[in-house]
Amino acid sequence: MIKHSMKKVIIASLAFAILASLFVYTRLGDFWQEEGELERYVYPSDFSDCWSVEQRRKKCRIPEEVLSEMTVEELVWAVIDYPFLFEVLVSSQNTGWSALLPDKSNAFAKLIECRRPEGKIIKVLKEAWEAEDADISQVYLARQIFYDSQERYFDFSKKQLEYLSANEKLE
């Protein structure tokens, strides 16, 4: 009888230890991913070999092998740096930005698939907004895109939505 009870205790302890290890491993994985060096994707700037806008957009698609290795932060920067962000704004006046952007920017499409990226999106946008070397107009456009897409793809908190929708003036 005691041996049977002891087996149950040992099995329960092992199961608890395995679950705790998985939880710690997941948390450390997120931490290590955050602490890694951020590598911003560099889009092409020479379009002399392209005859149409569609060819230019196609040239700006991030290769899948690069895209699959990007962190949430790198994906947000790839959205901010996307060369055709303004064109998406102009062409999406009636449908909203988020309706067209996943088809145009595969970084945004990949970001939609990420598990709960809202806090990291806000963190990157705030840091980009405050950085002196950032292209503030691109950051502003990206902020508007994430505000527009929050009902479709993301679940920002009320405080985060207030930040996204803030009408700060561009200098």
Cβ 7 vs Cβ 36: under 8 Å:
no
Give the pLDDT confidence of 102-136 residue by residue, as tens digits: 778 899 999 989 988 999 999 999 998 888 666 78
Cβ 75 vs Cβ 33: under 8 Å:
no
For the chain, list residues with pLDDT below 70: 1-4, 9, 12, 14-17, 19-36, 90-100, 132-134, 167-171
**Alpha carbon 1 to chain centroid distance?**
55
The reported pLDDT for the residue numbered 21 is 66
Listed by start position, the domains of the chain span 1-36, 39-165
Q: Say how far apart CA 84 and CA 57 lie, in whole Å.
A: 7
Helix/strand/coil for 20 = helix
The reported pLDDT for the residue numbered 82 is 92
Q: Say how far apart CA 100 and CA 145 lie, in whole Å.
A: 10
pTM listed for this prediction = 0.72
The reported pLDDT for the residue numbered 57 is 87
